[in-house]
């Protein structure tokens, strides 16, 4: 489990922790053998991720928004937790995630009849209910889809079709007294596919352009590529020990080495501007005269 700081040029893990399932956390013999600290208790991956985000924000890490794949983004509590931290997000969701289409929301709470306990929970019924993200995409008109290019690929520009609509999340909103706030649902449907392939939810500003929204969401490729380098080139995936401390020491050294490489890469063109000097020129001494130049008069 890791948290990376990233931009258009590089990414670097700034927090990491080994995820332990219940079978490990609840087994005292295994814990003792692997040297797992006593304060490590079972947490889901989204819960660990939220703890890492809170720690990063408390440490003063400056972030514009949070990115995550659908394994995290599909968790409503995870998305709400990011909002509580004070950061916007652009996260993947599954096609089965339920949403209220544009212009729709849950029905207001039933008016109290004077009998029984009054309720403030919003509601839905058979005629008025949310739809899946996939059904939302299939119901969109043709004009909702536009081609967007977000960056240069290895051989060509990366382009696909996207729709971006304002929706309200619907997961268990019948337990709430107010609807979820509107946010973006970004859907990718390549021309050569028979149905949409990727879905995202985002609390980036309502005024953001579609191109900027796509560009922000697609920034995750940077983290994926850098992790591939960490595993294959620097040995992050080569640890074969059985100890908690040994694993985290191994990861620390790999990430430190990668941080050094990123720093060095940033000083070499084209990452660095061509006009920048790699080696500082020594100053000319007083009275210096190039060989073959005429004597001064």
- Give me the CATH number covering residue 169: 3.90.350
Mean pLDDT of the 78-84 span: 96
- Rounded Cα distance between 186 and 184, Å, is 6
In-domain check, residue 177: yes
- Give the pLDDT confidence of 262-293 residue by residue, as tens digits: 888 777 765 554 444 444 555 666 766 666 66
- Give the pLDDT confidence of 174-209 residue by residue, as tens digits: 778 788 899 999 999 999 999 999 999 999 999 999
Mean pLDDT of the 17-27 span: 91
In-domain check, residue 208: yes
Query: Please, which residues have CB within 8 angstroms of residue 194's CB and are 6 or more apart in sequence?
Result: none
In-domain check, residue 224: yes
Q: Which residue has the tokens 């980036």?
A: 204
- Rounded Cα distance between 229 and 102, Å, is 41
The whole model's pTM is what?
0.82
For residue 274, the model assigns a pLDDT of: 43
- How many independent structural domains does the chain possess? 1
In terms of Cβ atoms closer than 10 Å to its own Cβ (0-12, 13-18, 19+), residue 13 is buried
For residue 292, the model assigns a pLDDT of: 60
For residue 78, the model assigns a pLDDT of: 96
**Which pairing describes strands 89-93 and 198-202: parallel, antiparallel, or unpaired?**
antiparallel
For residue 197, the model assigns a pLDDT of: 96
Helix (H, G, I), strand (E, B) or coil at 98: strand
The boundaries of the domain holding residue 151 are 2-23+38-240
Range with the poorest average pLDDT among 85-99, 142-156, 263-277? 263-277
Cα-based distances in Å from 10 to 81, 100, 256: 26, 36, 14
Query: Please, which residues have CB within 8 angstroms of residue 62's CB and are 6 or more apart in sequence?
Result: none
């Amino acid at each position: 489990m890791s948290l990376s700081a990233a931009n258009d040029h590089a990414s670097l893990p700034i927090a990491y922790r080994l995820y332990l399932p219940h079978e490990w956390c609840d087994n005292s013999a295994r814990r003792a053998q692997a040297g797992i600290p006593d304060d490590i208790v079972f947490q889901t991956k989204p819960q660990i991720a939220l703890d890492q985000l809170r720690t990063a924000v408390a440490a003063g890490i400056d972030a514009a928004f949070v990115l995550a794949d659908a394994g995290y983004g599909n968790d409503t509590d995870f998305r709400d937790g990011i909002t509580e931290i004070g950061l916007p997000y652009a996260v993947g969701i599954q096609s089965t995630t339920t949403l209220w289409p544009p212009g729709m929301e849950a029905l207001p709470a039933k008016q109290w009849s004077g009998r029984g306990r009054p309720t403030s929970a919003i509601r839905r019924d058979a005629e008025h209910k949310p739809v899946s993200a996939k059904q939302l995409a299939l119901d969109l008109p043709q004009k909702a889809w536009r081609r967007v290019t977000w960056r240069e690929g290895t051989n060509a520009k990366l382009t696909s079709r996207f729709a971006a609509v304002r929706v309200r999340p619907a997961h268990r909103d019948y337990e709430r007294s107010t609807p979820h706030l509107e946010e973006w649902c970004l859907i990718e449907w390549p021309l050569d596919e028979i149905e949409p392939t990727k879905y995202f939810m985002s609390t980036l500003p309502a005024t953001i352009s579609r191109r900027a929204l796509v560009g922000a969401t697609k920034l995750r490729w940077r983290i994926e590529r850098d992790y591939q380098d960490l595993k294959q080139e620097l040995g992050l995936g080569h640890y074969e020990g059985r100890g908690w401390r040994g694993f985290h020491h191994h990861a620390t050294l790999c990430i430190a080495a990668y941080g050094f490489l990123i720093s060095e890469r940033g000083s070499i063109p084209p990452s660095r501007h061509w006009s920048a000097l790699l080696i500082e020129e020594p100053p000319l001494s007083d009275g210096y005269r190039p060989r073959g130049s005429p004597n001064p008069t």
